Chains A and B, each alone.
Chain A
Amino acid sequence: MGKIVAVTGNEAVANALRQADPDVCSLYPITPQTDIVQRFSSFVANGLVKTELINAESEHSAMSAAIGAAAAGGRVITATSSQGMALMWEMLHIASGMNLPIIMPLVNRALSAPLNIHGDHSDGMGARDTGWVQLWSESAQEAYDNTIMAFRVGEHMDIRLPVMVCMDGFIVSHSIARMEYLEDGEVKKFIGPYVPKNPLLDIEHPKSFGPLILTDLYHEYKRLQHEIMGRVKNVVLQVSDEFARLSGRKYGLFESYRLEDAEIALVILNSAAGTSKDVVDELRGKGIKAGLLKPRLFRPFPYEEVGQALKHLKAVCVMDRADSFGGYGPMFMEISSAMYQADGGQRPRLINKIYGLGGRDFMPHDARGVLLELVEIAKGAPVRTVKEYIGVRE
C-alpha cells in the first residue's frame, strides 16, 4: 500500500506526474507552479521518467507544443498558474476543441493588475468556458489524487478531453502536509498505458487536425462538444469509484459535509473548505445545524446533483475566491442556476460573499461570521446585500 509522507502540494503533484510517466511535458515556469516543473525536470534529468521535456519560450508556446504532441499521439502534460494560463488562452480552446486529453495542474493564483503571486481562483474561474474539465482540490492529498484520476478521466475514450487540476497557490502548493503516496506500480496499473486516438504519427492513416469549419458545420461541432462534456460526470464517478477501491479515499462530484440534516450551509472550494469544516463542527457543538458543500467537478458543473443536495436548506452562502466584476461571484452564478432548476422549486435563500482575493487569509472567524449571518437569514431576517466582500478593511 501507500507511503505516508510530509510534502508540499507541488511536490505531491510532481510525484503524481512522475508516476504517470507522460510521453511529453512542455513547460514554462511561473510562480507558484514553478516548483512542479522544476521537480519534474529533475525527474527527467535523473532518468526516473522517459518523458521528452520541451522548455518553451512562453505559456502560449507551452500549450501549443502540448497540443502538437497530443495530436501526434502522446500522453502530454504541462502546468501553469495565473498570467501563464491567461497567456495560453486561445490554445486552451484549441486543446478542448480538438479533444486532446492534455493534463494540466493549475496552481491557482490571482490575476494582475495589481500584480500578486498569491492564491485565489480568478485564473481557474476565468477558464470556465474553455471546454476543459476542471477538478478542484482542497489539500495536497486531493491534488495528488485528482492528478492521478485526471489521466483516466481525460483519456477515457468516451470523452478525450483536457483536464485541469486546481489547487490553491502557496496555501496548498507550498505548505507541507501529511499525505499518502500510492506505490509507483499501483499508479502505473491504475492509469494504464496510453492509447492514442487518431494519432498524426500513424502515417499509414493520414489525417488532418484543425480544419476551417464555417457556417455549414461549426454549430454542429459545438453541439457535439456539448454532448461529450455531458458524458464527463459519469466518467468521473466511475474513475473515482475505482480509485476508492485502490486508495480507500472516496471522491464524488462534490463533497457534502454534515449537509443531510443541515439548515444552513456554505458552498466553498479548495483549501478554505478545510477551515470552514472546523467552524461547522464548532457550531454543531452549539446546536446550530450547519453544513458545507465543497464542489470538486466544476466543469462540467453537476447542477442537478448540487440542486438536490442543497434544496432542503433554509439559507446558503456561496463563497467565491474570485469576482466577476459587474456580476455575482462565479460560483454563486452556478449555485443560483442549480437552485432555480431544482426539483419542486424548493430552494434556500442565497447570499454571496467574496473572500480571500490575492491570498488574503480566510480565518475561522470569517467562516463563523458568515454562518451566524445565515442563522439570522434562516429565521427570516432580510438579506442586506446579495453580494458582499468580507475580510476587507472598511
Chain B
Amino acid sequence: MKKWTELEPGAVVLEAGSSARFKTGSWRTFKPRWVPENCIQCLMCWLYCPDMAVKVVDGKMTGFDYDYCKGCGVCARECPGKQGKKAIVMEPEGK
C-alpha cells in the first residue's frame, strides 16, 4: 500500500483504465444467466451494462464476466429475447 507521501494531491487517478483492476463481482446477490437459444445478438445487454460485464467477441455476445457483474439486472430487463422468451434471466446467487 502507498504511503501518504506517495499520493497524488486531490486523489486524481493519473493512470487510464485502472478500473479494470477494481473487481466488483462480489457485491452480487442475483446473477444473470445467458440463454443462447433465445439470444438475437442485438447487444442491448452490452449497451446497457453499467460496468464491463458483457463479454463480446467478434461482435457477438458470448456470456458474462462475473468479476465485474454486480447483478443489477439491467441487461435482463432490457433484453428483448426471442418470441417473448428472454435471453437473460436473473437467478439468486448460489443457486
**Interface positions of A (Cβ within 8 A of B):** 97-100, 160, 198, 205-211, 213, 216-217, 220-221, 223-225, 227-228
Contacts and interface: CB of A to CB of B under 8 A. Distances in A.
B83 to A, nearest CB: 42
B14 A207 contact: yes
A63 to B, nearest CB: 16
A160 B11 CA distance: 13
B16 A206 contact: yes
A220 B16 contact: no
A209 B10 contact: yes
Interface magnitude class on chain B = 10 to 19
B13 A208 contact: yes
Q: Report the 3 A-B pairs with minimum CB-CB distance, sorted nearest first.
A: A99-B10, A206-B16, A220-B4
B10 A198 contact: yes
B61 to A, nearest CB: 27
Interface string B8-25: 111111111111000000
Query: Main SS of chain B's interface residues?
Result: loop
B7 interface: yes
Interface in B13-51: 13-19
A100 B10 contact: yes
Contact of A221 (B1, B7, B17, B18): B7
A217 B9 contact: no
B16 A224 contact: no
A190 B46 CA distance: 53
A224 B13 contact: no
B2 interface: yes
A24 to B, nearest CB: 18
Given A198-B14, A206-B16, A207-B16, A160 B9 contact: yes
B95 interface: no
A221 B14 contact: no
Nearest to A220: B4
Given A206-B16, A207-B16, A216 B10 contact: no
